[in-house]
A and B are shown apart, each in its own frame.
Chain A
């Protein structure tokens, strides 16, 4: 029988196993062999099946009763919400899967039965890059009717923006137009979204459990690992690391109209790892001077005890550490008006445009000083929202700086209403915190802004102003890796002599050849203003040649104007250089986006 055990048939076994099996089988008679085959089959049933088999089975199960959580976000917040929510409903026996809108085929939506959309809004009501395709598809003629779909939408936004949660509203409206029915009311979250979501899910979870019959099989996480993800840190937004500020240096010249800081923070002993493209969340303490002014204007007692959630603390403490007092938003005006009954505030609220302008140019201190009134300490606290850490694109690579993290921060400081105002985190990092003092930070991963996995892929980096930050990280990383791909940086700022951020470093990279090309646009150095998008257009042929050679195209910086102007320049270039129609140029760019070759980190 030995010769009957074919090597081909047992290709699954290695040489040694095959020899052992052949040797055991050779000693058995026919009956024994039949018995043994049954024995072996029984053995196989007791061993855990390989993962691939489980996944197949799950896919079939999902088709009948699974919640699909689709997320789309620029910064990664929506992804975090999606994963957290998945874990939450799974613990209640609901099957769920999380898919990025970037990886989702829009037409698959007709196969969904239960859908949760988690989507952020950026700029002036624009959909995040990941969501653009699906967002457009649902509004197009190609969109299928969805009479059997049950959905809910969570919007992530910021009430200080005019088009608060606009993309979430769009999704809701489009799904509903297509005949789908909501299983829960849309949730529009402000910057402190965690609290809002947990409140919302308390009501919604039970609905979901009823809708989706719990399945009794054990779930395997279906989150696909990102190629270059790093180990999860124990330090998170909820549990930031107490890092120390090692340097805060103004890197714009003496005569600059801008005050941009290079910040170095030590992550020593934290074990925190980050990748070029990631952002750093920075917590900050509010300006004492502002707190004093707010307390005076509202005639409150700084030492009065107030409660914040479950916690009891003094008003001064709450204002310093826990509440947002630099960014203003309509909710505060509403609550403050309700508490103080001032007609002027009511009038202001009635005129949306005027209110928006007013909020844009006012911090909380300006509002209470303009409309002073005696309020109760707890009322003041309730009117304010919880402070949110600020996110800064990381300007360093750990391949070069190891346990440091560098940021490029525009220090906001201006005179208004007779005193100096500062930005919350920028003022903290630039002037209010001493070198050596503690700064609470955490890493916010951004898988939507990554260097190409292939070191030989060329990249074009458009990063005017503080948008330069991640590209400094990129170049440090590529330098350390010995990456051979060509690198082209486009940078702009007001003046060459004053605002050429990290000038000597770029000069060094040009000298060593790491940086292949640099195109500079200093807007105020000549009569007519020149911007990065103008430099792109001037170099249209070369830009297109690079794209055709597979270049990744990155944009970082101002979302409202720059990123749009750059995108329209890019579309023009693709159209003219590639002899394409406008529609084809858009397809070209969409394909780039899908292939993660067009990535934006804009704010």
Chain B
């Protein structure tokens, strides 16, 4: 292994490094904090550590100031993100999470997320162990879905090519398991598991200090790019021959997070390392992770992700190290093409004759609204469904593997509960937002709660300019960390302050071009008037079939981002 000094950033380690190192493999004093009934929160180190167990401490930010005045601490609670490689969940499991959400969460909802899994929002400390034990009984955990580890592994939701999908999905699961922390901490703390001798524990892949920063992995099946490869550190692009998976092209170093006002941070597309056969998959995954583990910046967390390591040491150096560690040589990449990122809504029939219904879930929020009982609907379907549910990276839901004779019954339930609505526009389906306020502690501006209204306005604008049959990939993210993946949208809004966003333009529909900032820190109302003008211009001047993101570049409204490390801020 080459741990050449020049490849490592010297300096005082970030405080998180101390915290991880002192945590006894992610245990910290979480168990003590759970017994402290004077606060609903965790001490600072444990606040960070519970993320490695899949939870974030949050609070209802809408009432934080009010409660402080009332001499009440913030309404601390946790959000849990489940580990669900490829987003597949059985109807039995669905009913378990449906009930838990109803009985023990402040919001009573299930939130599907861009990480192709579900989140519970608003679980109080006394119910945390119950939550993990309930999930565990149903065969679900939340290990390493957050924190400086490899997180939930995504896999394209493509139920049509069911054989390739099945294989790809199995690889997603294997990669997830292979890269998981090996510590017994999760079982000990949450499941009352036996305590083990921590001095004997080893973390062979992640290391005792775990990774320098979060790490995200996908398995993608072209031509779908629903998982947004360029938002991820490590991507396995499925290459199939004659309907059989033969290997993967490996893309490394994508990522969208940045910091406002810090030009050393930027979104970056993943670099193509080349093709590998299937049997090298786990070795390559471990080699990429361990190279990033050893070379990643542990001094400055803002520059700690794989994308910055690649920029710093050079793609070739990093790739050579991976080859060395995995004991392989990357072959030339195989050809593939991404044509879309959206989900295919409605029924599709798979090659195996099973039927799959994809339903649109606005913002991924499954809740019983007054006229749209989405949550009850999903539960009703789960009670009779013989196949499985698949959460998509676009925060939608697929009721997969339905036999012909049950199709009608399930469709009737879906219609009854508002899961299928003829009126949902193309624009709404191409829009996305992260959770943001009131629960996310990082949020700077509204996202999920702003989106429905913003889409109403966009729809009206498109109609006004005679473009009602078109749509634009439109994404809002509450802060520059980018869970809403606005940095791969045609129109991307990045939260800056209350009602204020940076407006980015010029991404493409396939998610292979990063949009550039058009206007900084402007009011939502100003954004709408800018968009009204630009959409009008697009309607008048576009080439046949030209997408909005391509048009704004051709029309010289915004420059394309080609090499983000150099031209994103230029």
Contacts and interface: CB of A to CB of B under 8 A. Distances in A.
Interface residues of A, number: 22
Interface stretch (B63-71, B248-256, B458-466): B63-71
7 contacts: A249-B69, A262-B71, A496-B126, A497-B75, A497-B124, A510-B38, A526-B126
B323 interface: no
Interface of A: 249-254, 262, 496-497, 500-507, 510, 518, 520, 525-526
Interface string B31-44: 00000011110000
A502 B72 CA distance: 6
A504 B39 CA distance: 9
Contacts of A262: 70-71
Given A497-B75, A497-B124, A504 B68 contact: yes
B71 A502 contact: yes
Contacts of A250: 70
A507 B70 contact: no
Contact of B38 (A252, A497, A507): A507
Contact of A249 (B39, B70, B73): B70
B70 A251 contact: yes
Contacts of B67: 253
A125 B277 CA distance: 88
What class of interface size applies to chain B in its complex with A?
Answer: 10 to 19
A197 to B, nearest CB: 42
B70 A253 contact: yes
Contact of B40 (A496, A501, A506, A518): A496
**Secondary structure of the A contact surface, majority rule:** mixed
Contacts of B40: 496-497
Nearest to B125: A496
A505 B66 CA distance: 16
A253 B73 contact: no
B375 to A, nearest CB: 21
Nearest to B126: A525
Interface in B62-105: 63, 66-73, 75
B37 A496 contact: yes
A520 B126 CA distance: 13
Nearest to A253: B72
B108 to A, nearest CB: 13
A520 B38 contact: yes
Given A497-B124, A525-B126, A251 B38 contact: no
Given A497-B124, A525-B126, A504 B73 contact: yes
A500 B63 contact: no
A308 to B, nearest CB: 41
Contacts of A505: 71
A257 to B, nearest CB: 15
Nearest to B39: A507
A504 B69 CA distance: 10
Contacts of B39: 507
Nearest to A260: B70
A501 B67 CA distance: 11
Contacts of A249: 69-70
A417 B520 CA distance: 58
Given A253-B63, A504-B73, 5 more contacts: A253-B75, A497-B75, A501-B71, A510-B38, A520-B37
A506 B38 contact: yes
A496 B39 CA distance: 9
A53 B68 CA distance: 61
Interface string B9-43: 00000000000000000000000000001111000
B553 to A, nearest CB: 48
Nearest to B63: A254
Nearest 8 pairs between A and B by C-beta?
A251-B70, A504-B71, A502-B71, A503-B72, A520-B37, A503-B73, A504-B73, A251-B71
Nearest to A499: B72
B47 to A, nearest CB: 16
A525 B130 CA distance: 14
Residue among A497, A507, A518, A526 having the largest count of chain B Cβ atoms under 10 Å: A497
Contacts of B70: 249-253, 262
Given A496-B37, A497-B40, A507-B38, A251 B72 contact: yes
A15 B399 CA distance: 107
Contacts of B73: 503-504, 507
A497 to B, nearest CB: 6
Contacts of B75: 253, 497
Nearest to A251: B70
B273 to A, nearest CB: 49
Contacts of B126: 496, 525-526
A553 B68 CA distance: 31
A503 B74 CA distance: 10
Nearest to B37: A520
A78 to B, nearest CB: 36
B37 A504 contact: no
Contacts of A504: 68, 71-73
Nearest to A501: B71
Nearest to A526: B126
A503 B70 CA distance: 9
Nearest to A521: B37
Contacts of A510: 38
A502 B69 CA distance: 10
A501 B70 CA distance: 9
A502 B67 CA distance: 11
Interface string B109-142: 0000000000000001010000000000000000
Nearest to A504: B71
